[in-house]
């Protein structure tokens, strides 16, 4: 059974820094999550007067997206990677050296991803000769192929007044991500993508990530090739391709069967989402925070044909409990994402 996935490719024209939970610039995140790009698109449309009122009120662009995943070109062949689901990859468990290498793998190319979600055997190799290259597992030899790399550069923080840092210029270091030629990030989309595309076209010039004001995070947006993904015939379980936030009453339905027998088969991790308001004039105010299920989480859907749906309109606008001057619009965080059937 095949499922066709529509994609967009982002080829970066400048270094990228992705903020993480740390407060310093010395470490960059490695993934742009689905809720981040969704919120960035809404903000870009709002800044340029292109956000319809119904979207401002609902937070729904009319489409569902994945997080951004790596792609690269090897020997003229486009390779798109998927996040490794929280289920085991068929391998020789007695080969301890290979098992240690597999623990580091975060990204699977399409053939290996299909093998995992369909519970099919696919050789990885042995400890000495295998298809693992750092965080990537691919049919292609990536040992001498660089997809992305990091660069740490010094930056200067110049105080705005003598009272700040005693008027002294402070040196700090920023880690930036760069992509090799033919490599970048792609996202999977489903639904009406007209508003999404309009927002991404704006963002390609404004940039995404940190320090966009100095030119970081700019990219070229291109329609990607459709991916024909081989999926299981049965879809009682699914794996997520982005962050998922669902209502509390629906959580138990995702993690166990009605009789509780399948609870052990659902697997997930949580990530804390929050940050600062980006609306001009309110940048020093923190948003409310929320926990979401991460990419690669595996959930129970109950029966074939039932798909999970997250909250597209989770409003994390701060509460007015401290007399703060707050923006007069909602602050949306999208907890809806794409899910792929998986055989358990």
Structure-model confidence comparison of residues 269 and 124, the more confident one: 269
Structural domain contains residue 7: yes
Q: How high is the pLDDT of residue 102?
A: 87
Structure-model confidence comparison of residues 40 and 160, the more confident one: 40
In the chain, pLDDT over 90 holds for what percent of residues? 52
Q: In which band, very low, low, confident or very high, does the pLDDT at 137 lie, cut at 50, 70 and 90?
A: very high
Q: Write the pLDDT tens digit of every residue in 197-237.
A: 999 999 999 999 888 888 899 999 999 999 999 999 876 88
Structure-model confidence comparison of residues 295 and 97, the more confident one: 295
The reply to whether 184 and 256 lie within a common domain is no
Residue 34 has pLDDT above 70, yes or no: yes
Q: Residue 41 contacts by C-beta under 8 Å, 6 or more apart in sequence?
A: 61, 195, 196, 199, 200, 203
Residue 50 structure tokens: 């292109």
Structural domain contains residue 170: no
Structural domain contains residue 122: no
Q: How high is the pLDDT of residue 148?
A: 95
Q: What is the mean pLDDT of the chain?
A: 86
Note down the domain range covering 312.
232-344
Structural domain contains residue 146: no
CATH of the domain at 201: 3.30.70
The reply to whether 225 and 264 lie within a common domain is no
Q: Give the separation between CA 295 and CA 240, rounded to whole angstroms.
A: 5
Q: Write the pLDDT tens digit of every residue in 252-263.
A: 778 765 555 555
Structural domain contains residue 113: no
Residue 177 structure tokens: 């991500």
- Name, of 31-45, 270-284, 299-313, the range with top average pLDDT: 31-45
Structural domain contains residue 15: yes
Q: Are 338 and 307 in contact (CB under 8 A)?
A: no
User: 110 to each of 5, 30, 140, 252, 307, how far by Cα in Å?
Assistant: 12, 20, 11, 31, 22
Q: Is 290 helix (H, G, I), strand (E, B) or coil?
A: strand
Instruction: Tell me the whole-structure pTM to 2 decimals.
Output: 0.89
Residue 94 has pLDDT above 70, yes or no: no
The reply to whether 58 and 187 lie within a common domain is yes
Count: domains in the chain: 2
Structural domain contains residue 126: no
- Of 209, 230, 251, at which residue does a domain stop? 230
User: 240 to each of 295, 317, 337, 340, how far by Cα in Å?
Assistant: 5, 26, 7, 6
The reply to whether 224 and 279 lie within a common domain is no
Helix ranges (DSSP H) in the chain: 34-47, 53-58, 96-103, 110-117, 194-206, 248-255
- Of 230, 261, 295, at which residue does a domain stop? 230
The reply to whether 237 and 324 lie within a common domain is yes
Residue 194 has pLDDT above 90, yes or no: yes
The reply to whether 326 and 210 lie within a common domain is no
Q: How high is the pLDDT of residue 316?
A: 74
Q: In which band, very low, low, confident or very high, does the pLDDT at 190 lie, cut at 50, 70 and 90?
A: very high
The reply to whether 273 and 239 lie within a common domain is yes
Structural domain contains residue 95: no
The reply to whether 262 and 201 lie within a common domain is no
Q: Write the pLDDT tens digit of every residue in 110-122.
A: 999 999 999 998 8
The reply to whether 212 and 261 lie within a common domain is no
The reply to whether 250 and 193 lie within a common domain is no
Q: How high is the pLDDT of residue 169?
A: 85
Residue 165 has pLDDT above 90, yes or no: no
The reply to whether 213 and 282 lie within a common domain is no
Q: In which band, very low, low, confident or very high, does the pLDDT at 23 lie, cut at 50, 70 and 90?
A: low
Element (H, E) at 62: none
Q: Give the separation between CA 35 and CA 328, rounded to whole angstroms.
A: 21
Instruction: For tokens 């610039």, name the residue.
Output: 25
Beta strands in 161-262 (DSSP E): 170-179, 184-191, 219-223, 227-230, 237-240
The reply to whether 218 and 69 lie within a common domain is yes
- Of 215, 230, 245, at which residue does a domain stop? 230
């Amino acid at each position: 059974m095949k499922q066709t996935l529509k994609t967009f490719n982002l080829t970066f024209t400048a270094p990228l820094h992705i903020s993480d939970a740390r407060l310093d610039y010395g470490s960059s995140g490695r993934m742009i999550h689905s809720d981040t790009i969704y919120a960035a698109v809404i903000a870009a449309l709002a800044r340029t007067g292109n956000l319809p009122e119904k979207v401002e009120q609902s937070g729904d662009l009319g489409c569902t997206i994945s997080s951004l995943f790596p792609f690269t070109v090897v020997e003229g062949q486009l390779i798109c990677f998927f996040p490794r689901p929280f289920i085991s990859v068929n391998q020789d468990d007695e080969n301890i050296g290979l098992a240690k290498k597999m623990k580091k793998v975060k990204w699977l190319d399409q053939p290996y991803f299909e093998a995992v979600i369909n519970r099919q055997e696919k050789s990885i190799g042995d400890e000495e000769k295998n298809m693992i290259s750092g965080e990537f597992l691919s049919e292609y030899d990536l040992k001498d192929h660089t997809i992305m790399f990091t660069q740490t550069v010094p930056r200067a923080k110049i105080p705005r007044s003598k009272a700040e840092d005693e008027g002294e210029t402070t040196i700090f270091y920023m880690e930036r991500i760069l992509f090799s030629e033919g490599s970048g990030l792609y996202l999977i989309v489903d639904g009406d993508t007209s508003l999404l595309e309009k927002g991404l076209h704006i963002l390609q010039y404004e940039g995404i990530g940190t320090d966009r004001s100095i030119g970081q995070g700019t990219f070229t947006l291109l329609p990607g090739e459709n991916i024909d993904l081989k999926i299981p015939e049965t879809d009682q379980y699914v794996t997520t391709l982005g962050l998922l936030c669902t209502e509390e009453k629906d959580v138990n339905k995702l993690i166990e069967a009605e009789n509780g027998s399948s609870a052990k088969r659902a697997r997930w991790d949580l990530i804390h989402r929050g940050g600062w308001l980006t609306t001009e004039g309110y940048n020093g105010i923190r948003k409310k925070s929320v926990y979401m299920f991460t990419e690669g989480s595996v959930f129970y859907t109950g029966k074939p044909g039932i798909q999970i749906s997250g909250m597209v309109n989770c409003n994390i606008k701060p509460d007015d409990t401290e007399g703060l001057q707050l923006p007069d619009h909602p602050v949306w965080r999208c907890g809806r994402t794409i899910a792929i059937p998986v055989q358990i």
